[in-house]
Amino acid sequence: MLIPLISIPFISRILDPEGVGKVSFMDSFTYYFVAIAEFGIGVYGTRAVARLIGQKEAMTKLVSELVFLHILSSLLTLVAYGITIVLLYDRIHDLSLIGFSVLFLVINSLSCEWYFLGMERFRFISFRSLFARIVALVSILMIIRHPEDYFIYYGIMTGASVAVILWNFIVLFREHPLTLKGINLTKHIKYTWITYLISLAYGITLYLDNVLLGLLSTAYAVGVYAFAMKIIKSTSLLLTDSLIVVFPRVVRFLKDNNRQELQNTMLKTVQMIISLAIPLVAGTFLLSEEIVLAVLGQAFKESATDLRLLSVFPLLKAYNVFLSKQVLIPFDKEKWVLGSLSFGSLIVIILIVILVPFYADKGVCIAMITGEFFSMAINLYFVKRADAELILFDWRSFWQSCLTASVFIPIIYYISSFLSGHWIVLFCSIGCCFAAYFFIQLLVFKNGFILNVKDTLLRIINKKWNNVF
């Protein structure tokens, strides 16, 4: 979360909205083909690996089969990518961006993040990602100097992703050397095709928003929208990436028929989403203009409206991801997830086509929120069909969080009245709102998630203190 808060203000003051729009268009365009090439292996592989922990020989065979299946799907995708590039070249018209895009698509054929997720190697994932992003950040700060350097910016982003993929593959190959002996690729296809279609439908809302906006409007509109959505997605990752930890654990509880631990995990996850998402939504809505002016600068002032429209997105997205990837998919209900995603994606596409000619980037914001809401509502219905006894929402935490977040209004009003400077107002508002929210939830409402956070922090501090002394 913190790294984009450094890179985005720097980039937005060097690159103009048009340059940002070109990069965002190409980045989203490439990632959708990555989703096509992925062939549903990501979710399927994570679940399959979680079920084979401790079975070395079976794991090596599974890893070889999924890696080779991904390479084959990537080769086929490259053909479709090439045809699409030829058809849209007049719209892209930038060989540098295309070159970096092709490089990433080729190297991504070796992607194996599913293995480390299934093995619950989250310390490795965190260290590797943090290291690659810090190197990329330093490179951006040292190299990017002029508006025409937008292609170098994209190259650095691509290089960081390529480094992560190769790092993953080297570690995987050392633990499970690939073999062609006795492998069977076709047995996985009957399972991956559903998760594959899910990835494609999920990718429409994740990547095609920039692409469709770029095709129906201008690079400037893409730039205004893209950075607002990037800020929103950065905060959303705090919630959705945390949910990755839940998936293999839920699979194991279901396998062992451990209903009590399953229910406890679900409730704790929902409490976490609510406790973190509600203040994010309130703070983003109330501070949208200060965020844009402080983080993006005057050139992106129009992004403030987009940010305000998208402020509820982290809550909808996190709860939707929880219902689909952490509940329905562990229950082997991929077809239901596909149905909800397809319906939500169809709404997004229809609304973008209708609204963008009139409202440009604002139309995309409305389409994204509407599509996410309908997809979430359908997932809720399907979850009740899958297991009516599971409790998957905590209304008490929700109303307590909303009531606590309402104190942000007078806090931000008084800070804005007495202080000047966008960064000063922003940091003081965030600090005061965070402190007020934490202590009210802890001392007044005794929020279960906040109490767990407090207890965990105290245990860590006591452990470190004892180790030192």
Tell me: the pLDDT tens digits for 45-56? 888 888 888 788
In whole angstroms, give the CA distance from residue 426 to residue 291: 7
Average pLDDT over every residue of 346-351: 90
pLDDT in tens, 168-182: 899 888 888 887 877
Q: Write the DSSP assignment of 75-120 as a string of letters.
A: HHHHHHHHHHHHHHHHHH--HHHHHHHHHHHHHGGG--HHHHHHTT
Question: Is the pLDDT confidence value at 467 over 80?
Answer: no
Higher-confidence residue: 136 or 240?
136
In whole angstroms, give the CA distance from residue 28 to residue 25: 5
Question: Is the pLDDT confidence value at 221 over 70?
Answer: yes
pLDDT in tens, 35-85: 888 877 887 888 888 888 878 888 888 888 888 988 998 999 899 999 988
| Look-up of token digits 């008490």 | 396
In whole angstroms, give the CA distance from residue 140 to residue 23: 14
pLDDT at residue number 243? 73
Burial profile 83-113: b = 16 or more Cβ within 10 angstroms, e = fewer: eeeeeeeeebebeebbebbbbbbebbbbbbb
In whole angstroms, give the CA distance from residue 39 to residue 34: 9
Which of 455, 323, 301 shows the shortest CA–CA distance to 382?
323
Average pLDDT value for the chain? 85
Cβ contact 223:106 at 8 Å = no
In whole angstroms, give the CA distance from residue 236 to residue 209: 16
Cβ-based burial of 465 (10 A; exposed 0-12, middle 13-18, buried ≥19):
exposed
Alpha helices in 13-55 (DSSP H): 17-38, 41-51
In whole angstroms, give the CA distance from residue 202 to residue 35: 9
Question: Is the pLDDT confidence value at 419 over 80?
Answer: yes
CA–CA distances in Å: residue 163 to residues 50, 75, 283, 338 = 25, 20, 35, 32
CA–CA distances in Å: residue 432 to residues 139, 150, 370, 405, 438 = 33, 37, 32, 12, 10
CA–CA distances in Å: residue 95 to residues 11, 32, 100, 347, 358 = 21, 19, 9, 33, 31
CA–CA distances in Å: residue 75 to residues 71, 102, 108, 171, 195 = 6, 12, 11, 23, 19
Torsion of CA 403, 408, 413, 417, to 10 degrees: 150
pLDDT at residue number 285? 94
Cβ contact 178:3 at 8 Å = no
Boundaries of every domain in the chain? 1-206
pLDDT in tens, 264-322: 888 888 888 898 899 999 999 999 999 888 888 888 888 899 999 999 999 999 898 88
CA–CA distances in Å: residue 457 to residues 26, 397, 452, 461, 463 = 42, 21, 9, 6, 10
User: Per-residue confidence at 464, pLDDT binned at 50, 70, 90?
Assistant: low
Cβ contact 23:148 at 8 Å = no
In whole angstroms, give the CA distance from residue 345 to residue 343: 5
CA angle 291, 299, 8 (to 5 degrees): 50
| SS3 category, 388 | coil
In whole angstroms, give the CA distance from residue 123 to residue 128: 9
pLDDT at residue number 205? 67
For 68, other C-beta atoms within 10 Å of its C-beta total: 16
Average pLDDT over every residue of 322-339: 81
Which of 19, 13, 8, 10 shows the shortest CA–CA distance to 222?
19
What angle do the packed helices 208-216 and 361-386 form, to 10 degrees? 150
| Look-up of token digits 């890696």 | 67
* Percent of the chain surpassing pLDDT 90: 22
Torsion of CA 236, 1, 467, 458, to 10 degrees: -40
Which of 423, 340, 413, 400 shows the shortest CA–CA distance to 376?
340
In whole angstroms, give the CA distance from residue 276 to residue 44: 28
